[in-house]
A and B are shown apart, each in its own frame.
Chain A
């Protein structure tokens, strides 16, 4: 039973980042790996500010804004296909390694004992982390459902389906791309800031591999969703699918740990599962 709830907590905590990847990978069909860097950026900005006596509100807002800014930057790098999105994302992650270290001042900063949402929920004792993860997931979930149900959501889906046609219909596709990448990386930064509060520290290497994990979760989730959606696009199902994919990933980790599988084998197995899904179910139209 514990394994089920541990996996749930971990997946709800990572969900903002996964939903950000869902927006870029599934909706506008761009593979953006910048989140590896903006996840840490959010954590770094939060840690730096909270340990310098800024309020939790300002620290979170600054973290989210920082993520959005770098989302805008990575979009501008890709402007008019000068640099392919995948390369742009990798370059941005590289640059963010330096930037994050500069922000933190050190590779690892403890925020234990400083103000945090976890601290505010400490009356829930052991369930504080789960509660925080759940509340943040719920808020972001609601916002994204509204976005996807709106005309904006329709245009973003159109952008992922047929960018040229969206342009022909008179929409500025670059602006919509900038918006989506800003939102996606803001979500990654939010996830980083929340993770720092749950882990109790920020480390410059904590973002390594999150983008690939999230893409894997999104792909697995999209297959689950197809069973229920029957070819219609239902935003709530889509987002729940992303959660489902994330949950399956963490459930596998936790089950394997529980049954005693050496993590050195676990990573191989997770990689194989992702390869299978990407080969048979991955979208070949991605940039």
Chain B
């Protein structure tokens, strides 16, 4: 039986200055290699859920366990950082823009292993899997890259050492449609190749249908629909829209 990479029980998150629940009684489980899509409109709570999983939101009720045994509520930021990686639509939040691509890798590498040096030729090979332009610019500052190149770089950085749980918070939504599509495709391929467990928030029905083996829809902080496996596989767009919006 696969280990639960993510286990959420009776999760509740209150808004700081009112009695409104941003998340209300969420229960979810993710096993290894699961790819969960969280679908919902603006204000549904999908970003809040992801931010609670990676402990950006600290004051919640209920239980979130990572990797079978690490309770998010009491675990240190360092241990959460060791188990998860989050990519958001704020592209620059995951990059050191004034520093070079190589320097970004050196810093990310320190997350895992402070002493191991980065081999430049190995790095170029690694980068080519994500975007062939990147390997030509490894000594240039990240600020010169386009939005799509930056998101590709973020994927490359994160998959230097794939995390236990990859958290994607609408990471392609700030990009042009074609670039967004292309990046999502690369993301899905890497997730599959590296056997990553992933949870992804999106408001796109197309992405929700195309990717992932599990889907949960949120509205006003509550789960209103859940499907996995074949049930998810055979969902149509109309059905999804009806259930979820």
Contact = CB atoms under 8 A, between A and B. Distances in A.
Q: Do chains A and B touch in the complex (CB under 8 A)?
A: yes
Interface of A: 151, 154-155, 157-158, 161-162, 164-172, 231-233
B199 interface: no
Q: Number of contact residues on B: which range applies?
A: 20 to 34
B82 A231 contact: no
Q: Is the interface of A mostly helix, strand, loop or mixed?
A: helix
A170 B77 CA distance: 7
B77 A231 contact: no
A162 B95 contact: yes
Nearest to B97: A161
Interface string B53-92: 0000000000000000000000001100110001000001
Given A162-B93, A169-B111, A170-B82, 18 more contacts: A151-B110, A154-B110, A157-B96, A157-B98, A157-B103, A158-B96, A158-B107, A161-B96, A161-B97, A161-B98, A162-B92, A168-B81, A168-B86, A169-B108, A170-B78, A170-B111, A232-B100, A233-B103
A197 B108 CA distance: 45
Q: Which 6 A-B pairs have the closest CB atoms?
A: A170-B78, A170-B81, A161-B96, A169-B111, A161-B98, A158-B107
Contacts of A166: 107
B186 interface: no
Contacts of B77: 167-168, 170
Contact of A231 (B108, B110, B141): B141
Residue of A165, A166, A167 with most partner-chain B CB within 10 A: A165
A154 B100 contact: no
A154 B141 contact: no
Interface of B: 77-78, 81-82, 86, 92-100, 103, 106-108, 110-111, 114, 139-141, 144
A165 B103 contact: no
A165 B98 contact: no
Nearest to B82: A170
A169 B141 contact: no
A275 B103 CA distance: 33
24 contacts: A151-B106, A154-B103, A154-B110, A155-B107, A157-B103, A158-B99, A161-B99, A162-B92, A162-B96, A165-B94, A166-B107, A167-B81, A168-B81, A168-B86, A169-B107, A169-B110, A169-B111, A170-B82, A171-B110, A172-B78, A231-B140, A231-B141, A232-B100, A232-B139
